Amino acid sequence: MPLPHIAIIDWRTAPQGDAESSIEKNIIGSAAKVTRHLCDTDADLDDEIASANAIIIWHNMPLTAQGITKLKNCRAIIRNGVGFDSVDVAAARERSIAVCNVPDYGTEEVADHALALAMALCRQILPLDQEAKQLGWNIKIGPKLRRLSTLTFGIVGLGRIGTATALRAKALGFRVIFYDPYLPNGADKAVGIMRVRSLNELLTQTDVLSLHCPLNDETRHLIAERELAVLKPGAFVVNTARGAVIKKSAILAALYDERIAGAGLDVIEDEPLRSEEEASAPNLIATCHAAFCSVESKIEMRSTSARIALSAVTGAKLENVVNGIE
């Protein structure tokens, strides 16, 4: 009997794994053949990938309904990361293919990154750095420097990462509030922060808005022109979730018009930034969809994906299924 086949699909433009797939092979061992493929889109899926019994796919490689129809033997598609909006989960469900993610890796890193962006904005670290390097200073941005204990930190989405972010913000002295319509009552008491019952209520109180929700039809452009207008004047916006949760044209316009004091965006709609005008938006800190990154988090993520893929090809119970197929 031939060995089961696990295909790892990495993004050709900026591969994230290693050519040897060493972490995955160490976990899967001799239980399956492991192959690695560099693709730009699912139009690049070849016959070898199409015959795989399980697929591990990195975050920048989209897998659409058209690509999923090519899969002949696949039991599970494992998204190497938390988000799974790059995979057509409905199309996979129609073909009885489970879609799994890795929701718990990188929790610390993303929470740390969100707080790092918030602190850089509240304490104006980058403008101060630029001024200091002019070999003298007047602290021109002094009016934007804020005392954390006077500020309200507003969180949208109190899942794993949102909770970790809330605890860090609370420890730094922020007053922390959150909005999450899907959490049961009592979540606020467990963490020791204040719950609000509407997005509007959160926005009108918030000095630092931090987004920690998935991207779906409900949350796409959750923050757009109306919401930015409702947001407390002089507020900062931080996004380490998914880019399209914030409408790009709306937040860039808010920065240019000085309706908000600054934004820290690890993710941005239609990333990366597409023009000099976008990159030059005032008081914008942009990082490279890298909040999840650390040596430790990538090992954890790849190890979990490999473990799920191994379960898929050996008939064991799958972890972290997001589309209802067991």
Same domain, 235 and 94: no
The pLDDT of residue 202: 98
Task: Please pick, among 36, 75, 289, 302, the residue that the annotation labels catalytic.
Answer: 289
Same domain, 220 and 299: no
- Residue 244 parent element (H or E): none
Same domain, 205 and 192: yes
Same domain, 306 and 273: no
Helices (H), the chain: 22-28, 47-50, 65-68, 89-94, 107-122, 125-132, 160-171, 187-191, 199-205, 225-230, 248-256, 276-279, 295-314
In a domain, 324, yes or no: no
Same domain, 31 and 174: no
In a domain, 189, yes or no: yes
Q: Is 300 a catalytic residue?
A: no
- The order of strands in the sheet holding 5-11 is 33-39, 5-11, 54-57, 76-79, 98-100
Return the exposure string of 37-53: e unless at least 16 CB atoms fall within 10 Å of the residue's CB, then b.
bbbeebeebeeebbebb
State the CATH number of the domain containing residue 27: 3.40.50.720
The pLDDT of residue 104: 87
Same domain, 182 and 203: yes
Task: Please pick, among 59, 242, 300, 302, the residue that the annotation labels catalytic.
Answer: 242
Task: Please pick, among 271, 278, 307, 319, the residue that the annotation labels catalytic.
Answer: 271
Mean pLDDT (10-residue bins), the chain, 326 residues: 94 90 97 97 96 93 95 97 92 98 93 98 95 89 92 97 97 98 93 97 98 95 98 96 97 97 97 96 96 94 97 97 94
Q: Is 242 a catalytic residue?
A: yes
Name the token pair of 19: 């050519």
Q: Is 271 a catalytic residue?
A: yes
Same domain, 190 and 115: yes
Same domain, 191 and 93: no
Name the token pair of 271: 């990333």
Same domain, 156 and 267: yes
The pLDDT of residue 118: 98
In a domain, 323, yes or no: no
State the residue range of the domain holding 277.
Answer: 107-286
In a domain, 64, yes or no: yes
Count of domains observed in the chain? 2
The pLDDT of residue 167: 98
In a domain, 96, yes or no: yes
The pLDDT of residue 137: 87
The pLDDT of residue 144: 87
Same domain, 239 and 125: yes
In a domain, 304, yes or no: yes
Same domain, 119 and 198: yes
Q: Are strands 76-79 and 54-57 parallel, antiparallel or unpaired?
A: parallel
Same domain, 191 and 164: yes
